[in-house]
Structure 1
């Protein structure tokens, strides 16, 4: 009997940063992930807010691994129907999540095209030259439309954002070492400065059960030798501190000096340097699968959901343009963060480095939100800069912020946003702005900061969207990452505030446990 197929997801064109090179070879192997619909998505969100909202009778009473799995596991009907369809096609599906809501299949392009009524093609990134295999649309059996959330990677391309921070060599005569600053400097933020600004104690943590997770991508590796040098200079009282390693997708963490990464070193150095004595794990995600950095996001969250005791905090200094991700994938990842949140893990992501316009080419002046900062179930962290060594702060111009186009305003933001609504003014509508996913939208204009006109696509001016960042923290750090000279480098990057906020949150968790607050 012929199966009735229905288009499940589609885009009209690849992102502007990609060039199509024609059909993918028929024998190219694809690893595709199938996300099944959860049995009770509303129950998960209700549980998350109940344990997270001060004043709630369930505040602080986080769910167990088993309780979360019971809420999000797909129904037996959904699992049975999807597995039966794949089995009939001769495809073996392997569960890759604790509840079986993610199924992995490996098939050649020829079979994937037939199975999903797709047309997988090779696409090359115009700047990096890196090739990826994607399709503009895919279909699933009509009877499975309510059982399958999405298939990935299909229409979502690897992020086009440059993930590397801006680095500058300090001016003035070189010194073999830099003494810890007792007070803050407008040109360099040290652990001592962060602790002073935000009241983070320098005494070592006493709760050994606390754990911090630091995500690592794009072959950014954290050096123990660099950490030792950094601590000897900036936190000599933490001499000998180390970090643990967890690898996924063929990830690694080589320790040769030439392979030390600025981003990874920055994250580890300031997490360890500010969160005094709290155990830190560096989670290095490799590129074994052709599913982009978002596949790594999925792997980390599914790995931690499978742990009996996940870390209290997970920080990730990487992001993507929201409009480069399908809504289904964005929603699925966001709900995965809700699962971890319900179990007591705080999820932190950098808000981005592209200012209000987002990290995008300037050929179109549409404001592009970053992902997953728009997800209401995690904390988006932005950046400030010191205006004086006494502690005055102002927003960092390169720190991203704005409103999501995918996620609505959560209840906890309503009051704050209502105060800002009266100042919003919309100008004339100008048709014809092309988004990065090949869609065309109307756009509007409003005055820019410099008195000029900035064209904004209509969806970016809706009044009921999730605002981000959630918090802001000091940026511009010293980094001792480039061996063998151990010369300090200034890192200008909105992502560089994350380690400090991670450490601040870890300290708060420690205080909370010490005070026996439930």
Structure 2
């Protein structure tokens, strides 16, 4: 730990208070609840921006303050609620009455330039929500491949016919979850997949994957790549991105797919992706995210900023899905040791405005929970009304189990789940069997994309924010309830799966046929 060089550069993001964030939340629920007369009547870009745009006096107060220090911010969000400045450490120290210091994590080579305190002038403070990074010690995303093993395949003529007894390939998912193999064909359908840390998928790997597991598809599979924050757009395929793309393009057959390659490994990269999307006139109808962090790294202000960004996507009709994590109820430190002193929820699964996806395993009979499936209760976000009854039934069932290790009144996750063990994925000439909610998330997202296809062809809007529908009586009945297993992850105990919702597998895994019948009847006032 030593003082940061006065001439080194800091990039700071200043978040201004939104004009009417409660109004955005109300509008989101109004267009997402099948019981509402406004179900599916999503907000326009301008309508969303009007809710979150800062008031003019906020903008003036902050820009005038920065101008006094000859700092000229860049607006980095479509609504204008986020400003970004690049300034020397010496200027940052003067601006914020701070002492920016280089801190080094004791378990890794990661260094962060942070300060232990900041001071905002009294006449400016009411117009700022927070500045990042200053006192927040949120570690960057670290390169951590999902668990995998190399798989040796027999020649085609000698391959076993029942791969599903051991592995997951698209046909297993199609058969078990009744997912259609026929290509989607609706105009305007789309799905996005996020990628970070120089993760990339290759079309050559995708073609080999299709040759092996989707021989019924006669056209060449493809996907688009969009770079954000200098994200890479080519290269040898990597595990995470290859898994995500192969089981998106390979399950959501013919749904236009875009891979968003984000170059910033810090949490700003998450926000930059959302702001990029919110700046588009046409959003992807589904956004699949196989990444997560630990909630304990976030304070309330920064967590709310992320969550409100996802609420904006939902209000415009995008279904946002995130992996619940692969550590069960616990967390893993930078020393790769399991923190078993308390349950540690992942982030952003605790945000109430997105759908969190857990993991299951087993095609031979009923599924069981994958022991690594992330799940639990947020310490930052309150439990939303749409899930309160389902969660209370679970809490009544487990009684004092794990008492004191979790926040019983917090937003509970995951919401749903899908198979998450040993997905055969092709990377640079080798097949790997990959585990994780990194696998279940693109699969559930692909199911939503195919449901959107049917709705669009019938002249109906996309499904948007899913949870009010999924937690309804009809939604719960359209899912496969998973009642066996638990999620200790790396520790000694976890939550047990149970009838109904549980913090291991959520409400359960998809049954496409039942979900299709549900969503084709999901009209306003259902």
Mark yes or no: TM-score above 0.5: yes
1:301 Cα offset (Å):
0.2
Q: Distance in 2 between matches of 1:364 and 1:202?
A: 43
1:119 Cα offset (Å):
1.9
1:24 to 1:178, Cα distance in 2 relative to 1, 3 A: farther
Q: Distance in 2 between matches of 1:198 and 1:297?
A: 31
Q: Distance in 2 between matches of 1:195 and 1:299?
A: 34
Q: Distance in 1 between matches of 2:156 and 2:196?
A: 30
Is the partner of 1:140 in helix, strand or coil? coil
- Please state if 1:488 is matched with 2:431: yes
Deviations along 1:123-148, one digit per CA (max 9) or x if unpaired, are 23444413221222323222333321
Q: Distance in 2 between matches of 1:362 and 1:378?
A: 27
Is the partner of 2:266 in helix, strand or coil? helix
Q: Distance in 2 between matches of 1:38 and 1:294?
A: 20
- 2:150 paired residue number: 169
The counterpart of 2:188, out of the listed 205, 209, 225, is 209
2:189/2:456 contact within 8 Å kept: no
- 1:6 paired residue number: none
Q: What are the ranges of 5 or more consecutive residues in structure 1 without an aligned counterpart?
A: 1-20, 427-445, 448-455
1:364 Cα offset (Å):
4.8
Is the partner of 1:33 in helix, strand or coil? strand
Is the partner of 2:126 in helix, strand or coil? coil
Q: Distance in 2 between matches of 1:362 and 1:475?
A: 21
The counterpart of 1:230, out of the listed 196, 209, 215, is 209
For 1:2-17, list aligned pairs within 5 A.
none
The counterpart of 1:375, out of the listed 324, 342, 351, is 351
For 1:280-299, list aligned pairs within 5 A.
280-287=257-264, 292-299=265-272
- 2:29 paired residue number: 49
Deviations along 1:194-223, one digit per CA (max 9) or x if unpaired, are 122222211111113111111110111111
For 1:132-143, list aligned pairs within 5 A.
132-143=112-123
1:423 Cα offset (Å):
3.8
- 1:87 paired residue number: 67
Q: Distance in 2 between matches of 1:188 and 1:42?
A: 46
The counterpart of 2:239, out of the listed 248, 258, 262, is 262
1:268 to 1:160, Cα distance in 2 relative to 1, 3 A: closer
- 1:310 paired residue number: 283
1:163 to 1:147, Cα distance in 2 relative to 1, 3 A: farther
For 1:19-418, list aligned pairs within 5 A.
21-154=1-134, 155-159=136-140, 163-170=144-151, 174-176=153-155, 185-238=164-217, 239-255=219-235, 259-287=236-264, 292-360=265-333, 361-386=337-362, 388-389=363-364, 391-418=365-392
1:420 Cα offset (Å):
2.0
1:250 to 1:424, Cα distance in 2 relative to 1, 3 A: same
Q: Distance in 2 between matches of 1:191 and 1:349?
A: 21
Q: Identify the range of structure 1 (182-191 vs 392-401) with the bigger mean alpha-carbon deviation.
A: 182-191
- 1:517 paired residue number: 460
Q: What are the ranges of 5 or more consecutive residues in structure 2 without an aligned counterpart?
A: 462-526
Deviations along 1:262-312, one digit per CA (max 9) or x if unpaired, are 00000000000000100100110113xxxx431110000000000000100
Deviations along 1:34-88, one digit per CA (max 9) or x if unpaired, are 0111000110000000000011010000001011011111001111111111111
1:312 to 1:174, Cα distance in 2 relative to 1, 3 A: closer
1:363 Cα offset (Å):
4.9
Q: Distance in 2 between matches of 1:373 and 1:162?
A: 20
1:352/1:359 contact within 8 Å kept: no
- Please state if 1:465 is matched with 2:444: no
1:376 Cα offset (Å):
0.3
1:174 Cα offset (Å):
4.3
The count of corresponding residues between Structure 1 and Structure 2 is 456
Q: Identify the range of structure 1 (227-236 vs 43-52) with the bigger mean alpha-carbon deviation.
A: 227-236
2:186/2:454 contact within 8 Å kept: no
1:499 to 1:180, Cα distance in 2 relative to 1, 3 A: farther
1:163 to 1:208, Cα distance in 2 relative to 1, 3 A: farther
Q: Distance in 1 between matches of 2:396 and 2:13?
A: 44
1:178 to 1:342, Cα distance in 2 relative to 1, 3 A: farther
**TM-score w.r.t. length of structure 1:** 0.84
1:475/1:496 contact within 8 Å kept: yes
Q: Distance in 2 between matches of 1:346 and 1:165?
A: 24
